[in-house]
Chains A and B, each alone.
Chain A
Amino acid sequence: MLLESQNKNKYLYDPTVKNTQWCHPVLYHIIQLHHRGLDVDQWYGELNDDPIQIEGYGTASKPEIAYYYRKYRLLRENGFFSPPDSGHLLSGRLSPGQIKSSLANTRQATFEVVDYCNLECAYCAYGKFYNINAPRGDRKLNTGTAKTVLNYLLDLLNSPLNQSHHQVFYIGFYGGEPLLNFPFIREVVAYAHQLKPVHNHFRFNMTTNGLLLGKYMDFLVEHDFDLLISLDGDEYSNSYRVFKDGTPAYSEIIKNIDTLAAKYPSYFQTNVNFNAVIHNRNTVPGLHSYFKTRFGKIPSIGELNSSGVAAAMREEFLKTYANIGTTLFQAEDYSLIEKDMFLNLPNTRGMKSFLQQCSGFIFNDYNEVAAAGNKTEAGKPPKQTAQIPTGTCIPFSRKVFITVQGKILPCERIGQQYSLGMADEKKVDLDFEKIADTYNSYFDRLKKQCCSCANWEACLQCIFYLNMDHPQPRCSGLLNDEEFARYLSTQLSYLEKNPQTYFKVMKEVRLV
């Protein structure tokens, strides 16, 4: 694929050899001819000694053309310009064994402790902006169910299918507001302490709105919980986070956080982090400054979920919505913020993904490096193995999520209609064959689109964010060649202006 940056520099991106390189305009012209289907060797053979006019360059003499023709040949002989066989490369399938192994290697089990909350945030994922499939209200997860799930997982974690050792396994508490059912948390923690994982050690984590921290902080500290407190910044910035009667919750939350920081300063420093939502009442620089000054912390910042917004609420949603990039780039002290927040910024993740796709210098693990180190046949690009379509995670590769009703999901961010199994006090019902069939049928329905997508190789699209209930789901991330080239050009232009970001990503970013 040929690209041009905003600075009018020309680049060649070759997905097969995984290389992106600057391209001289004359070489660019020759590759353009190749892409148009012209026999370049014949074209060159028939050239006379007259110079030719090349757009963006001017006149190219015969010796110049001869030089870049030789370079074109060199690239071609080294595997460049061979189109990737996306049909074959996207023919990967999930097997039941792969899913079972994935669960045996999962890093976290998160329990939806309750489905209710003591706040009624204006932008809540279960609030007014969204089409809600399953109404939420007053349900609690049964402690027996959680214990059954932990027993089931322990068998797998202790089995030879677990490839890890000395690895942390997180038991997570999520809501609603999880501290509204503290007895559940206390009992599950006590139970987990009795279990004997061979290859893992258990830790606990929790996402909380902080309202009940005052009451339970001693317990959380005693059990070394990792805490993620949801807070959108100062009083005004946090003003979408309100009680059910509409009164702001800020002062109560802050009182608890201050008490925690004063009573357990070392714990606060090591175990507490903040998660803020960006909207029209705060900004990235404001959040950066607030959390850094007040708590000495760099927050994670997320955007409002723009999928599933009810049509009637679209206008109000858009007024509330803000984009991280926009507010960040407007900051006067942008570079300082970027330096501090580098790993927490979505564009860092995006740049890593772009470089992984285009540079050929980012590898997921040592096996990928070792495979890269295998000698390839001269002139042939490295062999690529078939992958599954879309950017969907292999189920349970990161976590297993259990809802208040005992539904088992691969993640808390996907709709409960996509439950993969059930758990109750007596048993865990997970049919790996059925799960594999379900995923593979989803992939089958999307594969045609994936094969026509220019970004198929670095796709981040999760199938569960698409409407898979529809007989012909439409991928919202589908990119044609032109759109994809525009995306690549934008990233290249960014790196031209911010070259240091390249080495920063290569040296500092590990996002597995």
Chain B
Amino acid sequence: MSKESQNFWFILDNYVHVSVRGKSVLFYNTLTGKILEYSDCEPVSRLVKRLNSPRNLLVIGLTGKELANPEISRFVKSMRTFFMGDLIDASLTKGKPMQMAPYPNIQQDVEFIKKSPQGPIAVGDRMMKYVAEVSLFINSACNLDCGLCGSAHRQFLCCTRGKNTRTELESRSIKNLLQQLQGASLARLNILGGDIFKYSQWEQLPEILTDPALPTEKYLYSHYLNLAGQEHKLAQLPTDAFSLKIVVPFPVKKQQWEEIMNMPLLNRPGTHFLFIIAGETDIDAAEELITRYHLENHSYHPFFNGRNREFFRQAVFVDREDLEEARPTMREILARQCINPLQFGTLTILSNGDIYANVNARRLGAFAGDSIYDMVYKEMFRGSSWRRTRKKAAPCRHCTFNALCPPLSNYEYALGQNNLCHINPRT
């Protein structure tokens, strides 16, 4: 038999993520991180269309004649070289093989349920199990006047002062909330201010923090300048009931910093420094502190102040190499198509009682008046934060890389653009 008349099966591996946008096709091998891109290659586009057809399940027949086409031949060779696909003589089998194509099916998919009112389940079915993290801004009082106040907490977990009025969450309401969350899968509770040490019901915190229904991970956030002289207040809290997160913007005030460094509480296990970084000099300053004071637990949090877009372009925006290095797995890719893994299950309650799934999105309700169930239901139904994915966001939805990129974070809100990348800056 001549090679031209021979028939083959071409099989795409199902650990390969394929993304098609117009005439562009991207193949990403989730086992190796290798990315292959084809633009304006009509024969490859046609093959991919056939591979993706429900009739074909990632397997198509190729004749020797088709394989003689240089573009197809090169494509098949590349697929084989990078372990993304394979070719087999069709005469070795009695019929066409199949591959289980990566397509996510969530049995309790809200979008599916919304379209099928006859279904056995509803949007609110066991939804409280999704609440995994709650952040309570217990007060707004603070004597500091940081430049980042009012915006940093919209980018990452950080204290924030009230604008005009001083507000507080009632400790009774907090206890009531935690009571309502008994059925949730709460894994983490964050307590932030203002200056938490100015919370007028501080004496209620031990009871709140030791509630047996609470998760093991509980964090108290404080600006380092507010920590000075507060050891007696911290001592009122059971030592193993929380970990301390110390917020450090730059430049640091040397005298107060030294004072903090001499506090024995720094030796508490789990004490963590959050360095707020607005530029290269802040990184240098943070590194110096880390080295000089042997700070083991720390993290960097880039802060967009409206003037440092270039710093973000260099330090935060992702490029193709970042994605290859991050090597998202197929399961991560599937997850990112359905939910926002960074935001799913989180609730934030500001000191004025406003509740959000994300502080940058629409308010879900008010702490005092509305049931937490109503608010979780609202977010489950509209999904504007928990299910905010690149697949739905412009311009990323038009980009073949959208499932490989990190989930949308709060930085996209802050910078006013979703494509924080160098891949398709103009998509």
A: residues with CB less than 8 A from B are 5-9, 11, 19-22, 24-25, 56-58, 67, 70-71, 74-75, 77-78, 101, 104-105, 107, 159-168, 198-199, 355, 358-370, 372-376, 378, 382, 492, 495-497, 499-500, 502-507, 509-512
**Is B14's CB under 8 angstroms from A502's CB?**
no
Interchain Cβ contacts within 8 Å, total number? 211
Q: Which listed residue (A9, A199, A369, A373) contacts B97, Cβ 8 A?
A: A9
Query: Which residues of chain B (212-241) have a CB below 8 Å from chain A?
Result: none
**Is B124's CB under 8 angstroms from A165's CB?**
yes
Which residue of chain A has the shortest Cβ distance to B328 in the bound complex? A375
**Is B54's CB under 8 angstroms from A8's CB?**
no
Which 7 pairs show the lowest CB-CB distances between chains A and B? A373-B335, A7-B95, A163-B128, A372-B331, A9-B97, A160-B182, A165-B124
**Is A57's CB under 8 angstroms from B376's CB?**
no
For the complex, give the distance between the alpha carbons of A8 and B91 in Å: 11
B: residues with CB less than 8 A from A are 11, 13-15, 31-32, 54-57, 59, 80, 83, 86, 88, 92-109, 112-113, 116, 119-130, 132, 179-185, 327, 329-332, 334-336, 338-339, 341, 344-345, 373-374, 376-377, 386
**Is B106's CB under 8 angstroms from A369's CB?**
yes
Residues of B within 8 A of A160 (CB): 179-183
Residues of A within 8 A of B55 (CB): 499-500
In the complex, what's the smallest C-beta–C-beta distance from A365 to chain B, in angstroms? 4
Q: Which listed residue (B59, B88, B95, B105) contacts A363, Cβ 8 A?
A: B105
Residues of B within 8 A of A509 (CB): 105
**Is B341's CB under 8 angstroms from A370's CB?**
yes
In the complex, what's the smallest C-beta–C-beta distance from A89 to chain B, in angstroms? 18
**Is B183's CB under 8 angstroms from A372's CB?**
no
For the complex, give the distance between the alpha carbons of A510 and B107 in Å: 5
Residues of B within 8 A of A496 (CB): 95-98
For the complex, give the distance between the alpha carbons of A56 and B128 in Å: 53
Which residue of chain A has the shortest Cβ distance to B92 in the bound complex? A57
Which residue of chain B has the shortest Cβ distance to A162 in the bound complex? B183
Residues of A within 8 A of B373 (CB): 165, 198-199
11 A-B pairs (CB sep. < 8 Å) = A21-B13, A22-B59, A165-B127, A165-B377, A361-B104, A364-B107, A373-B335, A373-B339, A374-B332, A502-B100, A510-B116
For the complex, give the distance between the alpha carbons of A367 and B83 in Å: 31
Residues of B within 8 A of A67 (CB): 80
Residues of A within 8 A of B185 (CB): 367
For the complex, give the distance between the alpha carbons of A375 and B406 in Å: 12
Residues of B within 8 A of A499 (CB): 54-57, 98
Known: A8-B94, A166-B124, A512-B121. A101 touches B108 (CB 8 A): no
**Is A5's CB under 8 angstroms from B338's CB?**
no
Residues of A within 8 A of B330 (CB): 360
Known: A365-B106, A509-B105, A512-B120. A9 touches B93 (CB 8 A): yes
In the complex, what's the smallest C-beta–C-beta distance from A220 to chain B, in angstroms? 19
In the complex, what's the smallest C-beta–C-beta distance from B113 to chain A, in angstroms? 7
Residues of A within 8 A of B100 (CB): 20-21, 355, 358-359, 361, 495, 502
For the complex, give the distance between the alpha carbons of A364 and B86 in Å: 32
For the complex, give the distance between the alpha carbons of A492 and B95 in Å: 12
Q: Which listed residue (B102, B344, B377) contacts A366, Cβ 8 A?
A: B344
Which residue of chain A has the shortest Cβ distance to B330 in the bound complex? A360
Residues of A within 8 A of B83 (CB): 70-71, 74
**Is A24's CB under 8 angstroms from B122's CB?**
no
**Is A374's CB under 8 angstroms from B341's CB?**
yes
In the complex, what's the smallest C-beta–C-beta distance from A448 to chain B, in angstroms? 30
In the complex, what's the smallest C-beta–C-beta distance from A6 to chain B, in angstroms? 7
Residues of A within 8 A of B98 (CB): 9, 22, 492, 495-496, 499, 502
| Interface core residue of B54, B83, B98 (most chain A CB under 10 Å) | B98
**Is B32's CB under 8 angstroms from A74's CB?**
yes
Which residue of chain A has the shortest Cβ distance to B86 in the bound complex? A24
Residues of B within 8 A of A101 (CB): 183
In the complex, what's the smallest C-beta–C-beta distance from B364 to chain A, in angstroms? 13
| Interface core residue of B31, B54, B100, B329 (most chain A CB under 10 Å) | B100
For the complex, give the distance between the alpha carbons of A370 and B340 in Å: 8
Known: A71-B83, A78-B31, A499-B98. A364 touches B108 (CB 8 A): yes
Known: A160-B183, A164-B126, A363-B107. A373 touches B112 (CB 8 A): no
Residues of B within 8 A of A376 (CB): 329
**Is A502's CB under 8 angstroms from B101's CB?**
yes
**Is B54's CB under 8 angstroms from A510's CB?**
no
**Is B92's CB under 8 angstroms from A166's CB?**
no
Which residue of chain B has the shortest Cβ distance to A496 in the bound complex? B98
In the complex, what's the smallest C-beta–C-beta distance from B381 to chain A, in angstroms? 9
Which residue of chain B has the shortest Cβ distance to A511 in the bound complex? B107
**Is B341's CB under 8 angstroms from A165's CB?**
no
Residues of B within 8 A of A367 (CB): 129-130, 185, 345
For the complex, give the distance between the alpha carbons of A366 and B57 in Å: 26
| Interface core residue of A20, A21, A78, A361 (most chain B CB under 10 Å) | A361
In the complex, what's the smallest C-beta–C-beta distance from A191 to chain B, in angstroms? 24
**Is B376's CB under 8 angstroms from A165's CB?**
yes
**Is A369's CB under 8 angstroms from B121's CB?**
no
**Is A164's CB under 8 angstroms from B57's CB?**
no
Other A-B contacts than A78-B15, A361-B102, A365-B108, 5 sampled, CB-CB below 8 A, are A11-B97, A21-B100, A165-B127, A360-B331, A365-B126
Known: A360-B331, A512-B121. A366 touches B106 (CB 8 A): yes
In the complex, what's the smallest C-beta–C-beta distance from B210 to chain A, in angstroms? 18
Q: Which listed residue (A366, A492, A495) contacts B108, Cβ 8 A?
A: A366
**Is B15's CB under 8 angstroms from A373's CB?**
no
For the complex, give the distance between the alpha carbons of A359 and B14 in Å: 9
**Is A25's CB under 8 angstroms from B334's CB?**
no
**Is A500's CB under 8 angstroms from B94's CB?**
no
In the complex, what's the smallest C-beta–C-beta distance from B199 to chain A, in angstroms? 25
In the complex, what's the smallest C-beta–C-beta distance from B192 to chain A, in angstroms? 23
**Is A104's CB under 8 angstroms from B183's CB?**
yes
**Is A366's CB under 8 angstroms from B338's CB?**
yes
In the complex, what's the smallest C-beta–C-beta distance from B187 to chain A, in angstroms? 11
**Is A510's CB under 8 angstroms from B119's CB?**
yes
In the complex, what's the smallest C-beta–C-beta distance from A46 to chain B, in angstroms? 24
For the complex, give the distance between the alpha carbons of A124 and B132 in Å: 48
In the complex, what's the smallest C-beta–C-beta distance from A403 to chain B, in angstroms? 24
For the complex, give the distance between the alpha carbons of A101 and B185 in Å: 12
**Is B113's CB under 8 angstroms from A510's CB?**
yes
In the complex, what's the smallest C-beta–C-beta distance from B22 to chain A, in angstroms? 23
Which residue of chain A has the shortest Cβ distance to B122 in the bound complex? A167
For the complex, give the distance between the alpha carbons of A371 and B130 in Å: 11
Which residue of chain B has the shortest Cβ distance to A502 in the bound complex? B57
For the complex, give the distance between the alpha carbons of A21 and B13 in Å: 7
For the complex, give the distance between the alpha carbons of A58 and B89 in Å: 11
In the complex, what's the smallest C-beta–C-beta distance from A274 to chain B, in angstroms? 15
In the complex, what's the smallest C-beta–C-beta distance from A176 to chain B, in angstroms? 25
For the complex, give the distance between the alpha carbons of A368 and B108 in Å: 10
For the complex, give the distance between the alpha carbons of A512 and B336 in Å: 22
For the complex, give the distance between the alpha carbons of A75 and B329 in Å: 13
**Is A372's CB under 8 angstroms from B124's CB?**
no
Residues of B within 8 A of A370 (CB): 132, 335, 339, 341, 344-345
In the complex, what's the smallest C-beta–C-beta distance from A76 to chain B, in angstroms? 11
| Interface core residue of B59, B108, B330 (most chain A CB under 10 Å) | B108
Q: Which listed residue (B105, B130, B184) contacts A361, Cβ 8 A?
A: B105
**Is A510's CB under 8 angstroms from B331's CB?**
no
For the complex, give the distance between the alpha carbons of A177 and B83 in Å: 62
**Is B54's CB under 8 angstroms from A500's CB?**
yes
For the complex, give the distance between the alpha carbons of A6 and B97 in Å: 10
Which residue of chain A has the shortest Cβ distance to B326 in the bound complex? A375
Residues of B within 8 A of A505 (CB): 105
For the complex, give the distance between the alpha carbons of A71 and B83 in Å: 7
**Is A512's CB under 8 angstroms from B107's CB?**
yes
For the complex, give the distance between the alpha carbons of A509 and B113 in Å: 11
Residues of B within 8 A of A70 (CB): 83
**Is A164's CB under 8 angstroms from B128's CB?**
yes
Which residue of chain B has the shortest Cβ distance to A397 in the bound complex? B126
